[in-house]
A and B are shown apart, each in its own frame.
Chain A
Amino acid sequence: MRDVYVAGIGITSFTRLEYPLVEIAAYPGLMAMKECGIRNIEQIYVANMGASRINHQTGLASAVANDLCLMPAGAETIENGPASGASAIKQGFLAVASGMYDVVMVIGAERMREVNNLEATDFVATLTHPLAEYIYGVTLPALAGMFARLYMDKYGVTARHLGMVAVKNHKHAMDNFYAHLHEEVTLEGILDSPDAATNNPIVADPLRYYDVCPISDGGACVILTSADTAKKTGKPMIRLAGVGQATDTHAVHDRKNPTDLLAVREAAKKSLAMAGVTPQDVHVAELHDAFTILEIAESEEVGFFKKGEGHLALQDGYTKLGGKLPINPSGGLKAKGHPVGATGVGQAHEIVLQLRGDAEKRQVKGAKVGFTCNFGGFGNNVVCLTFVRES
């Protein structure tokens, strides 16, 4: 396999976007082409989870190829739940690494706010086991709530630790123009004040409103190329050095130990090993914090911290901007937003910005190795990516 590089990137705001899904997908593609000056796209992969269900649209990749006037490029839509984005990047990686294509555009796009929050929650819940989970009314917040309760009992994580994730990531998002939520929150406001119960009501005990990501629209794009093509852009050479993917049981209750996220552990291990680095070599990470507890749990499973000690690193400030290993400098899913199909590509966009040194106020100084974890299902299909800046 040959090396694969990220030559161009583009993104929309992750927020409520009042324009059609195809445009949400096409816009970051335009931005990426403009940024790197590459127009000769040979293949497009569009990651999306809900178009056919909530936007009444199929064949999204074909529509995007038309909208961007990229015919006769190949085009495919990739659906892998909330991990669709990183899955599409994996496909792009394989296409370039194999030598089949030289320039591949990977887009992630979602328009979830077309439906109300109840319908959106139900749509995401369709990724759960249809007979063992969904028919009993399980939703992702419900699974995360049960997971959090067990985690708290086993490892001493408290509601305060969960609140710290929210406070940190909301603060990070303040410096991200494209983030969904530009509102700084405090532990006093969401946990301690007399009005905290209204500001931050229970969603799925013990998870509260500020423990849960918003429902967002948004799109993001990365253009993957061979080394020769990437060099011509004149931009820093960011290599997609590691791709790891793993699956776990569909129903969470089938896992021997439900607090172990084995797919995260395995996908991270594969990705880091492929890149030839260890967790300790990573300078900046974007983890899939759809719920605050997941940032803590994933930071342990990836190997950044020992099992059961992620919350301690958080409370000691290791994971905030300026800390030893900043996690989710973009604001994460928690505050940047979570347009499910776009999230994995959005994570890659942030890491590329960081490794290029273009992340402005939220820049992690000297970042050379970046990592993303895109968590599909409730941990039953996870894709991890490792990016390395070459000198």
Chain B
Amino acid sequence: MAIDLEKTLRPVDTPLAEYPAKLMTLAGGEQLVIRQVTRDEIPDILPHVEPLMHVERDFYDIVAARVYAELLGYYTYRVQDEYVLAAQIDGELVAVVNGRIVNKDVGMSYHTLALRRGLRVGAHAFAAKMEYHIDILGQKEVLIVAESPIGFRRWMIEYKLEKRFHVPHELGGCPSWALTQELFDKARHSLIVGRRPVPEPLLAKAKAAILPPTDPPRPPADRLAATRSLYDSTATSLLEQRKLLGGKQDA
């Protein structure tokens, strides 16, 4: 009975071409390998995503929480036609990107989570994801939304995405934006980098172990740096500081 029910719950995945791993050199000189991870590797990634759910800064909390759920959904066969790419430096996990295939022509971008800031790690991983949809799977367009201002600048502005506001995105039903083949071609020479094949020792190292990020995003040093205080018109964070410092008086 349980097995029969599981058959019902579990979607049937469409066979998809594998994303061929690629290599690029970052501004810091590090060698970044981006590759598709298998379902069996998901448990090795989850522990590195979980701590970011508690980083209330730059929307890391919501993005990490959703990525965690999506990876878990992939691992437990609860999302149809999902894929996950990992970006690694010497085995260290520095970014995770994922998405799914809606149909032959349309892809759905889920998330880009950078576990190391700077050096355009997240931007490179996102570009690889788009490359997978457009070049490898031959799709006509990818539907995208951003949860953070950083994401909006990176995707909507840098790629000059088209509006598809009549299409609700799978992430919360937000209005979608689209990267088309034409837009991708325009970005190809400035935003898409990398070389193939990845030298065997580097690829083997990446596959051997998904190591934890050595410098992950951390919670803000003080409440004033918390992302959402922008929307706190009462300035309670400043009042908090004033109390902490034993200021002249409280307003």
Contact = CB atoms under 8 A, between A and B. Distances in A.
Contacts of A185: 27-29, 119
Interface string B226-241: 1111101001011001
Interface stretch (B66-74, B171-179, B191-199, B206-214): B191-199
Interface in B96-129: 117-120
B245 A33 contact: yes
Interface in A17-58: 17-20, 23, 26-27, 30, 33-34, 39
Contacts of A67: 235, 238
Contacts of A184: 28
Interface in B52-108: none
B7 interface: no
A358 B4 CA distance: 68
A259 interface: no
Given A69-B247, A183-B117, A189-B28, A198 B238 contact: no
Contact of A193 (B25, B119, B215, B245): B25
Interface residues of B, number: 39
A27 B226 CA distance: 14
A257 interface: no
Interface in A270-285: none
A19 B230 contact: yes
A199 interface: yes
Interface residues of A, number: 38
Interface string B180-210: 0000000000111111000000000000000
Nearest to B119: A183
A61 interface: no
Contacts of B153: 116-117
A13 B193 CA distance: 32
Interface string A165-206: 000000000000100011111101110011110111100000
Contacts of B235: 20, 23, 67
Given A30-B247, A67-B238, A193 B29 contact: yes
Contacts, number: 101
Contacts of A70: 248
A189 B247 contact: no
B249 interface: yes
B28 A30 contact: no
Given A69-B248, A182-B117, A19 B237 contact: yes
Contacts of A183: 27-28, 117-119
B229 A19 contact: yes
Contacts of A20: 230, 235
A195 B25 contact: yes
A13 B221 contact: yes
A30 B243 CA distance: 11
Contacts of B237: 19, 23
A189 B230 contact: no
Contacts of B29: 185-186, 188-189, 193
Contacts of A195: 24-26, 193-194
Given A69-B251, A194-B195, A181 B229 contact: no
A189 B249 contact: no
A181 B30 contact: no
A33 B245 CA distance: 9
Nearest to A71: B248
Contacts of B118: 181-183
Contacts of A194: 25, 193, 195
9 contacts: A19-B224, A23-B224, A27-B224, A39-B248, A69-B248, A183-B27, A183-B118, A199-B25, A201-B190
Given A185-B119, A198-B192, 10 more contacts: A13-B225, A17-B224, A18-B226, A18-B228, A30-B241, A189-B25, A189-B29, A195-B25, A198-B190, A210-B27
